[in-house]
Structure 1
């Protein structure tokens, strides 16, 4: 059982996942600190209330503490924006990597594997035409 567990842990996907979780937690702490100590005071100056965590309103005697909710929304938006930037960058890199290369005249230069497959295709078409012509 220990050997199976060791094999499971040593797989790349598990290690990558663990690293992702650790980096994500550290990033979340950083975003929380930026929100609490930098953005909240700036927003507080604009709306006239220095500490957003004390922000509240009352309706029919019920008090709604919305300061922490505002902090959570700001944190969420920052994290989602960074995730969006990462995904967009990865998609562009993947798209750019799949494009064919171009020479200095702007002509597409196929990779050797594509050329080889095209030669095989052309050879099979040639053989098929000759077989068809030889039958009749």
Structure 2
């Protein structure tokens, strides 16, 4: 049992678990942002464009059961809007990180200055070749 507890402590202390925990917390906060963007900005704009279409009232009654297929349609529309919003945000983020990476690569591609002794040896070599 002690070995199990020691192994579990090592697992928890690893950076991967901590990174995953931070990712989950940031993901939760990001979910709130995307949800707000969807519900407070995009959905009302689409409502203005499409004339406040609401599918939630659509249903079929079969016997004593009511099949609310309108809720499903509304959930699919909400999912598609959320997925599109997330796609656009991630696309912009990826474009930003790609530009940042390119800028870093340009900085690292600059040749290091040639040491003075190497320059002198190169000049001597070139002079000897001329003679």
Aligned equivalent of 1:49, options 45, 48, 52: 52
User: Superposed, which structure 2 residues align to 1:116-127 within 5 Å?
Assistant: none
Provide structure 1 residue ranges, at least 5 long, that are not aligned to the other structure: 102-107, 120-136
| Number of residue-to-residue matches in the alignment | 108
Aligned equivalent of 1:73, options 73, 80, 85: 80
Aligned equivalent of 1:85, options 86, 92, 95: 92
TM-score normalised by structure 2 residue count: 0.60
- 1:19 matched residue in structure 2: 22
Q: Cα distance, 1:56 vs. partner? A: 5.3
Q: Cα distance, 1:47 vs. partner? A: 1.4
Does the CA contact (< 8 Å) of 1:35 and 1:74 recur in 2?
Answer: yes
Q: Which has the higher contact order (CA 8 A, sep 6+)?
A: 2
User: Superposed, which structure 2 residues align to 1:88-107 within 5 Å?
Assistant: 88-100=95-107
| RMSD over aligned Cα atoms | 3.5
- SS of structure 2 residue aligned to 1:111: coil
Structure 2 CA distance for partners of 1:18 and 1:38, relative to 1, 3 Å = same
State the alpha-carbon separation in 2 of the partners of residues 72 and 92 from structure 1.
30
- 2:112 matched residue in structure 1: 111
State the alpha-carbon separation in 2 of the partners of residues 49 and 109 from structure 1.
57
Q: Cα distance, 1:35 vs. partner? A: 1.5
Q: Cα distance, 1:71 vs. partner? A: 0.9
State the alpha-carbon separation in 2 of the partners of residues 98 and 92 from structure 1.
10
Does the CA contact (< 8 Å) of 1:56 and 1:67 recur in 2?
Answer: no
Q: Cα distance, 1:2 vs. partner? A: 2.5
Q: Cα distance, 1:82 vs. partner? A: 1.6
TM-score normalised by structure 1 residue count: 0.58
